[in-house]
Structure 1
Amino acid sequence: MKFAVIVFPGSNCDIDCYKAVEQTIGQPVDYVWQTATDLSAYDAIIVPGGFSYGDYLRSGAIAQFAPVMAEVVKAAEAGKYVLGICNGFQILTEARLLPGALRRNKNLKFRCHSALLEVVNNETPFTNEYSKGEIIDVPIAHGEGNYYCDETTLAQLKANNQIVFRYVAGANPNGSVEDIAGICNEKGNVVGMMPHPERAVDKLLGSEDGKRMFASILNVWREQHGAAVNS
């Protein structure tokens, strides 16, 4: 299975994502610069965190127009796996691959600390290694993680089981509607989340709960391609 980690001017979690793939599941992974116009060689695409284009105008607002995003959209429509983390989540909403928007944190402060999440949907390609309702520890680092959508969109997210992660009750760090920390598209192959699973892949980092996101996607890919999963 081959992964692409998209790199924009201002990306700062691209190395973390690369290392998470390389060290947790041992699969081929490439950095792909934002001017790329062909992602056909890749099975999964990670849009990492950071401050693409300095977060001018609005987080992700400029990155959505980068040449590579047309290819990310094409890959998502073809059923390939796309994971947007933090700024990557913001970019995916700006590109309309995911509904809603990310606004300034309710307290207008940058938040950087561990966060407890509830796994709401464990049926996506990125979450099948978790149990529904499981509480996991995945760090956050954002100033614009306040997920917002209108009531109609929220009803659709609930009806289609598109809410993937919630912050545990009483521990919402940014004011996001319904404590939402991550969502997916209707097909489930595109996931966006504010917390950083790539920063939770080793006990030395404080948590290993992010490792199963990468293991999940590899398992699904191997099942689809008839490959035996290594023990």
Structure 2
Amino acid sequence: MTSIGVVTFPGSLDDRDAQRAIRLAGATPIALWHGEHDLRGVDAIVLPGGFSYGDYLRCGAIASFSPIMSEVIDAAAKGMPVLGICNGFQMLAEAHLLAGGLIRNAHGSFICRDQKLRVENTSTAWTNEFDDGAEITIPLKNGEGGFIADAETIARLEGEGQVAFRYLEVNPNGSINDIAGVTNERGNVVGLMPHPEHATEEGFGPDTALAMRNGTDGLKFFTSAIRSLVSA
């Protein structure tokens, strides 16, 4: 059976939720510890949300130098699927596995809401089960979620199809071009600020009115990874 590792850092909050999402998708979740160099033979990796190291210096900055991140970087370079969710996205940016960076929300406040997204790239290891242009709703919760990059990087991301997700209806944090998530050129590394692991079961979040229709939108992230690994 496909195994997907979830790395726990000091301050991780959503590692157990990610493990549950992986189990619901049909894979085996494997707990990984930030202070070790052992990936335990996993087939893919999730860097979960939270406040690693209390968000000191910059969100994800200290975590990007954790011992296990050297293994994650090597594995990603060899093609292993890696997903960074919220704080995990910040780590991937700090580790230069993904372009750009994440800064304080433009309105200066923490935000928690059900967020509509459009799937812009369905050829990645984490999005291949979505339809092109699919509109999904998954929870968003962050204080430093504003995606930034220089003009040249933004043009490259847009031109080469590396924008994976875009905010719809409202830009909750001031991200350039409404960018909610990006992928690397190869398509095996994806990061996004919203939390797919919180939208994996019917009847549970997003809000009650949307739950039966959109409650499992997040599950396709994890079934996509399984599909890409089986296909490979």
TM more than 0.5: yes
Q: Which residue of 2 aligns with 1:8?
A: 9
Contact 1:120 1:166 in 2 (8 A): yes
Contact 1:118 1:166 in 2 (8 A): yes
Q: Give the AA of the match of 2:217.
A: D
Contact 1:40 1:75 in 2 (8 A): no
| Cα deviation code 1:174-213 (max 9, x no counterpart) | 0000000000001010000000000000122232100111
Structure-1 separation of matches of 2:126 and 2:58: 27
TM-fit CA distance, 1:39: 1.9
Structure-2 separation of matches of 1:29 and 1:40: 11
* Corresponding residue SS for 2:98: coil
Answer yes or no: is 1:208 the counterpart of 2:224: no
| Cα deviation code 1:128-175 (max 9, x no counterpart) | 11111111001101000000001000011012210000001x411000
1:173-212 equivalence runs, <5 A? 173-206=172-205, 207-212=215-220
| Cα deviation code 1:40-64 (max 9, x no counterpart) | 6111000000000000111001101
Answer yes or no: is 1:41 the counterpart of 2:49: no
Contact 1:14 1:49 in 2 (8 A): yes
* Corresponding residue SS for 1:71: helix
Q: Which residue of 1 aligns with 2:210?
A: none
Q: Give the AA of the match of 2:65.
A: F
- Identical columns (%): 47
Q: Give the AA of the match of 2:218.
A: G
Q: Which residue of 2 aligns with 1:104?
A: 104
Number of aligned pairs? 222
* Corresponding residue SS for 2:32: strand
Q: Which residue of 1 aligns with 2:211?
A: none
Q: Which residue of 2 aligns with 1:223?
A: 231
Structure-2 separation of matches of 1:40 and 1:15: 18
35-44 vs 194-203, which moves further: 35-44
Structure-1 separation of matches of 2:12 and 2:230: 30
* Corresponding residue SS for 1:114: strand
* Corresponding residue SS for 1:9: coil
Where do 4+ consecutive residues of structure 1 move more than 6 Å? none
Contact 1:111 1:142 in 2 (8 A): yes
TM-fit CA distance, 1:38: 2.4
Contact 1:39 1:75 in 2 (8 A): no
